[in-house]
Amino acid sequence: MSASKVATMRDAIAALVRDGDSVAIEGFTHLISFAAGHEIIRQGRRDLTLVRMTPDVIYDQMIGAGVARKLVFSWLGNPGVGGLHAVRRVTEGASASLDLEEYSHFGMVGRYTAGAMKLPFFPLRSYFETDLPVANPRIRPIRSPYGEDVVYAVPPLHPDVTIVHAQRADAEGNTQVWGLTGCQKEAAFAADRVIVVVEELVPSEVIRADPNRTLIPGLIVDAVVVEPYGAHPSYTQGYYDRDSRFYVAWDAISRDAAALDAWLRDWVHDLPDRAAYMEKLGPEVAARIRPTGSAPSGSVDYGRYE
Amino acid sequence: MGGAAATTAAFSRSEMMIVAAARELAGQRVCFVGVGLPNIAVNLAKLTVAPDLELVYESGVFGARPARLPLSIGDPTIVTGATAVTSMLDLFALYLQGGLIDVGFLGAAQIDRFGNINTTVIGPYDHPTTRLPGSGGACEIAINARSVFVVMRQTARSFVERIDFRTSPGTLGGAEASARIRAEQGWMGSGPSVVVTDLGILHFDGDGEMCLESLHPGVTLDVVRASTGWALRVADRLAETPAPTADELRLIREQLDPEGLYTR
């Protein structure tokens, strides 16, 4: 049995996220590690290249806190609400200061996939007759080696660190996810270092009883952080719902730079960790985002072959 | 509000837009859903004109059966009870690029007469006056969904002579050029087929240009022209969109959007 990789969020971020790194906190609406983002802010990282298909409220908070110099993405917004105002303040007008590298969703998924497979590019049928390859010259047409077909290529993406939230893992980092799995597997395999943050730490026997559900093997995981509610205000399927009220409330906070600073002080800098954040939120929020009922999967029989 | 149940004024423009979009889905099978208005339209279609419709969400869900109105494109309600949950790689590579999506819904900040769409920036790319969300999956949906439905509010600011950035391609300037380019480049899609707005329904003619086919009840042609940034083509026989039925309105108000988040 390998040594335990279980660490506190503070220790995991201190050891594995460095100034100037490219950092991918992935999770498409589901399983977004706000807890890791807040710890990166708290530890004052600088000059990060933030990578994410959908930079939403967590990256608005991180960019508002000044941790980033560049953003690599495919869709930028507060889902179902509107814009990201801290991001807009550094990307609009003559004073735009944040570097942007922009793809489409399939392009970003393809970039992680090529990175994970150690390939020089990922081919896809997209970008034809658009301005995206003009805005981003790293999106390039290539000819098929087997004919005249032309497709577009995107370059591989190798984050220094990928951070994902999940329902459960064992102490070695074998990580199981259900519900939307987005691009977390590809983003983890593409990265040099991987942090998984989980609702529950479980014995290896639990993982081994349902191997089809393992998304990320401990083989590529550097640290396992146990952080219940670590994805709030996003959600964890089967554990808690998305706190849509927070996403709506964020709009007004983010519009006003002073209000955003105050929020970061109250909810990030002045708190030691996620447990304190949940305590400050109070039990009524946890009650509000509880699933309205249970919907267990049917179980399957893997059979014994001895 | 009671008292005026029988009048045609008893629905909002958003409700008319949703109903008109839902009716366009009659006979369709596999539909790529966006959040917001398209989401309500597609769910309404499933309850009315297209009961066999399979709802596909780019977050990685095929055959969703949402039990409440999804508030984001990755809401947990689209997972529970779905036919399949896939990685986004599978969703974009095997389902969309594999040619299995009949209809893709797109919205737009700006659209031109050929159905080219901008969701990226207003103003110059490097120093925009407004930074918009960007492509998301829109660019590849426009290319690879078998057909594209656009749902958006119609104003002179959004229906423009020249879009500031082309995020998603439209009709490529007419049937002939479009067919040639799509065949040469292996696109799975035939491009935008209909634009449903809060004012009317527009299809694309043989030149690939938008043409007003139907006015919603209570909307005049002058209003549509004033809400379009180019000299709009109008069908010889301009129709009036049938008003929402009591059943369609009941489904929207009681079942799909009881809080009126998208429809008031």
Which band of pLDDT confidence, cut at 50, 70 and 90, is reported for residue B6? very low
* Mean pLDDT value across residues B131-151: 96
Does residue B70 lie within any of the structural domains?
yes
How many angstroms away from the CA of A45 is the closest CA of chain B?
26
Query: Residue A237: closest CA among chain B residues belongs to which residue?
Result: B76
The model's pLDDT over A212-261, given as tens digits with 9 standing for 90+, comes to 999 999 999 999 999 999 999 999 999 999 999 999 999 999 999 999 99
Check residue A229 and give its pLDDT: 98
Best of B71, B100, B184 to substitute, by most chain A Cβ atoms within 10 angstroms, is B71
Say how far apart CA A78 and CA A57 lie, in whole Å.
Answer: 6
Q: Is the pLDDT of residue B147 over 80?
A: yes
A135 in Cβ contact with A73 (< 8 Å): no
Say how far apart CA A111 and CA A104 lie, in whole Å.
Answer: 10
Percentage of chain B surpassing pLDDT 70?
97
* Catalytic-labelled residue, pool B15, B24, B54, B58: B58
B102 in Cβ contact with B147 (< 8 Å): yes
pTM beyond cutoff 0.90? yes
Contact criterion met (CB < 8 Å) for B60 and A180: yes
Check residue B213 and give its pLDDT: 98
Contact criterion met (CB < 8 Å) for B128 and A91: yes
Query: Residue B71: closest CA among chain A residues belongs to which residue?
Result: A80
Contact criterion met (CB < 8 Å) for A131 and B134: no
Q: How far is CA B28 from the centre of its chain?
A: 14
Half-sphere exposure of A245 (CA within 13 A, CB side): 7
Enter the DSSP assignment of B83.
S
Domain that holds residue B217: 13-250
Largest CA distance in chain B: 59
The model's pLDDT over B73-98, given as tens digits with 9 standing for 90+, comes to 899 999 999 999 999 999 999 999 99
Count chain A–chain B contacts defined by CB atoms under 8 A: 171
The model's pLDDT over A51-80, given as tens digits with 9 standing for 90+, comes to 999 999 999 999 999 999 999 999 999 988
Contact criterion met (CB < 8 Å) for A237 and B76: yes
Contacts with B34 from chain A: Cβ below 8 Å? none
Residue with tokens 């083509």, as numbered in its chain: B233
Contacts with A114 from chain B: Cβ below 8 Å? none
A window 33-52, beta carbon within 8 A of B: none
Does residue B89 lie within any of the structural domains?
yes
Check residue B224 and give its pLDDT: 98
Which band of pLDDT confidence, cut at 50, 70 and 90, is reported for residue A27? very high
* Mean pLDDT value across residues A260-264: 98
Does residue B1 lie within any of the structural domains?
no
Domains and CATH numbers, chain A: 9-119+156-288 (3.40.1080.10)
SS3 call for A243? coil
Does residue B60 lie within any of the structural domains?
yes
Cβ neighbours of A257 (radius 10 Å)? 12
Contacts with B165 from chain A: Cβ below 8 Å? 131, 135
The model's pLDDT over B235-258, given as tens digits with 9 standing for 90+, comes to 999 999 999 999 999 999 999 988
Check residue B37 and give its pLDDT: 84
CA distance readout (Å), A304 to A125, A204, A299: 44, 18, 15
Q: A44: exposed, middle or buried (C-beta count within 10 Å: 0-12, 13-18, 19+)?
A: exposed
DSSP secondary structure of B32-55: EEPSSHHHHHHHHHHHTT-TTPEE
Q: Which of A130, A180, A235 sits opposite B169 (nearest CB)?
A: A130
* Mean pLDDT value across residues A182-202: 98
Sequence length of chain A is 306
Check residue B5 and give its pLDDT: 41
Strand partners, A200: A168
Q: Is the pLDDT of residue A115 over 90?
A: yes
Check residue A1 and give its pLDDT: 55
Cβ neighbours of A143 (radius 10 Å)? 10
Half-sphere exposure of B21 (CA within 13 A, CB side): 35
What CATH number should be reported for the domain holding residue B108?
Answer: 3.40.1080.10
Amino acid A91 reads: T
Check residue B36 and give its pLDDT: 77
Does residue B259 lie within any of the structural domains?
no
The model's pLDDT over A34-50, given as tens digits with 9 standing for 90+, comes to 999 999 999 999 999 99
Contacts with B172 from chain A: Cβ below 8 Å? 129
Active site residue B58: yes
Contact criterion met (CB < 8 Å) for B61 and A104: no
Best of B143, B171, B262 to substitute, by most chain A Cβ atoms within 10 angstroms, is B143
Q: How far is CA B27 from the centre of its chain?
A: 16
Check residue A291 and give its pLDDT: 97
Residue B112 host element (H or E): none
Q: Which long-range contacts (CB under 8 A, 24 or more apart) does B197-201 make?
A: B197/B17, B197/B151, B197/B152, B197/B153, B197/B154, B198/B13, B198/B14, B198/B16, B198/B17, B198/B153, B198/B154, B199/B13, B199/B154, B199/B223, B199/B224, B199/B227, B200/B154, B200/B224, B200/B241, B201/B20, B201/B24, B201/B241
Contact criterion met (CB < 8 Å) for A242 and B71: yes
The total of structural domains in chain B comes to 1
Q: Which of B89, B129, B139 sits opposite A92 (nearest CB)?
A: B129
- A235 touching chain B per CB within 8 A: yes
Taking alpha carbons only, the member of A95, A135, A101, A138 closest to residue A120 is: A138
Does residue B31 lie within any of the structural domains?
yes
* Mean pLDDT value across residues A168-181: 98
Contact criterion met (CB < 8 Å) for A96 and B185: no
Does residue B264 lie within any of the structural domains?
no
Average pLDDT in chain A: 97
ipTM score assigned to the predicted complex: 0.96
Enter the DSSP assignment of A304.
-
The model's pLDDT over A280-293, given as tens digits with 9 standing for 90+, comes to 999 999 999 999 99
The model's pLDDT over B159-186, given as tens digits with 9 standing for 90+, comes to 999 999 999 999 988 888 888 998 889 9
Contact criterion met (CB < 8 Å) for A83 and B131: yes
* Mean pLDDT value across residues B107-115: 96
DSSP secondary structure of B48-74: TT-TTPEEEETTTEES---SS--SSTT
Half-sphere exposure of B29 (CA within 13 A, CB side): 5
Contact criterion met (CB < 8 Å) for B76 and A241: yes
Q: Is the pLDDT of residue A91 over 90?
A: yes
Contact criterion met (CB < 8 Å) for A186 and B87: yes
Largest CA distance in chain A: 69
How many angstroms away from the CA of A81 is the closest CA of chain B?
9
Q: Are strands A22-25 and A48-51 parallel, antiparallel or unpaired?
A: parallel
**SS3 annotation, B190-241:** CCEEEEECCCEEEEECCCCCEEEEEECCCCCHHHHHHCCCCCCEEEEEEEEC
Contacts with B76 from chain A: Cβ below 8 Å? 30, 179, 235, 237, 241-242, 291
* Mean pLDDT value across residues A144-148: 93
Check residue B2 and give its pLDDT: 37
Does residue B6 lie within any of the structural domains?
no
Q: Please, what is the end-to-end C-alpha distance for chain A in angstroms?
A: 22
Say how far apart CA A146 and CA A296 lie, in whole Å.
Answer: 48
Say how far apart CA B61 and CA A142 lie, in whole Å.
Answer: 31
Cβ neighbours of A210 (radius 10 Å)? 14
Contact criterion met (CB < 8 Å) for B144 and A29: no
Q: Which of A93, A125, A183 sits opposite B87 (nearest CB)?
A: A183
* Mean pLDDT value across residues B59-68: 94
Check residue B263 and give its pLDDT: 77
SS3 call for A236? strand
Contacts with B66 from chain A: Cβ below 8 Å? none
Say how far apart CA B228 and CA B236 lie, in whole Å.
Answer: 18
The model's pLDDT over B194-246, given as tens digits with 9 standing for 90+, comes to 999 999 999 999 899 999 999 999 999 999 999 999 999 999 999 999 999 99
Query: Residue A54: closest CA among chain B residues belongs to which residue?
Result: B136
Q: Are strands A161-169 and A22-25 parallel, antiparallel or unpaired?
A: parallel
